[in-house]
Structure 1
């Protein structure tokens, strides 16, 4: 059963806090525990900022539409990368495979130079391209919508490159896994 009434659907939806009885809400730890069991692809988002390159790991990247080519990801409002992302016009979304798992760990670290020792080059727009990534998309930021303690960032894909399609990297239950032919059903 949908949490939206007919009048809510006509208005485009309802706020999560009105979807159930007052005070009804899943505990944050229970929510996290459910999603720890849901494998997610791993990406690193990079962008050019006024003070230098910015990058962070994301496991929330989703395809939204093929025509036009749209994707989205979420970023916590408390992320050290959020302020730069608020100003960015374009970003690069690097899709990682098992051979580039080191990039995920590096760009997830706090309080360090995430680009230190990383093979990267600048695209004409200034975006840092991680040359060890399996594939990447360059995209224009379309919208940033606050959702709870995070922001959902929607993007319009402008160009892409696939360097290899070997063993995709997924994050499951706080651990990285490479998916290969042995995992096919």
Structure 2
């Protein structure tokens, strides 16, 4: 019997979230500057995709009101949050607020916001979008990147924030 023809049982979203919460991930804030000023959102679904060509991927929720604004710009900066950025992560995850109020940033080489104190910044141009169920899978082509080796990343694990142990 061909195992691929078997239909798997439905997986409940709460069970999926609970089990996959055992995988620790970093937290990024995707930023851009549109016609109405800077915008951004917190994203946990981020990964390096390819070294040649240099590509990254992330997956905003289809319900995101910020991703369409960034998509329209066509370029963005991925800000890898540092251990002291838990409040910043929470602020950029909220809808309907001025997420940049009181937030320090400087423009990347393409003019996108690089958040002050981040571990790393990855300046990208939108390359592709794909259907990802209740999310959109975004692929960005990397044009510039920087890192601060003196900072530890903010991690998310089992529903809460943490930091990576120092080497």
**Common fold, TM-score beyond 0.5?**
yes
Are 1:71 and 2:71 matched, yes or no?
A: no
Are 1:159 and 2:111 matched, yes or no?
A: no
Matches within 5 A, 1:23-38: 24-38=9-23
Q: Distance in 2 between matches of 1:90 and 1:153?
A: 12
Q: Which structure has greater helix proportion?
A: 1
> Residues 13-58 of structure 1, C-alpha deviation per residue, up to 9 Å, x if partnerless?
xxxxxx742x732111111111222111111110122222110111
Q: Which of 1 and 2 has higher RCO (CA within 8 Å, sep 6+)?
A: 2
Structure 1: 5+ residue stretches without partners:
5-18
Secondary structure, in 3 states, of the residue corresponding to 2:17? helix
Please tell me the root mean square deviation across aligned C-alpha atoms, in Å. 2.1
Q: Distance in 1 between matches of 2:94 and 2:129?
A: 24
Q: C-alpha displacement at 1:127, in angstroms?
A: 1.3
Number of aligned residue pairs: 166
> Residues 52-103 of structure 1, C-alpha deviation per residue, up to 9 Å, x if partnerless?
2110111111011111111100001101212213313111001112133332
TM-score by length of 2: 0.89
Report which of the two structures shows the higher radius of gyration computed on alpha carbons: 1
Matches within 5 A, 1:1-185: 20-21=6-7, 24-123=9-108, 125-181=110-166
Structure 2: 5+ residue stretches without partners:
none
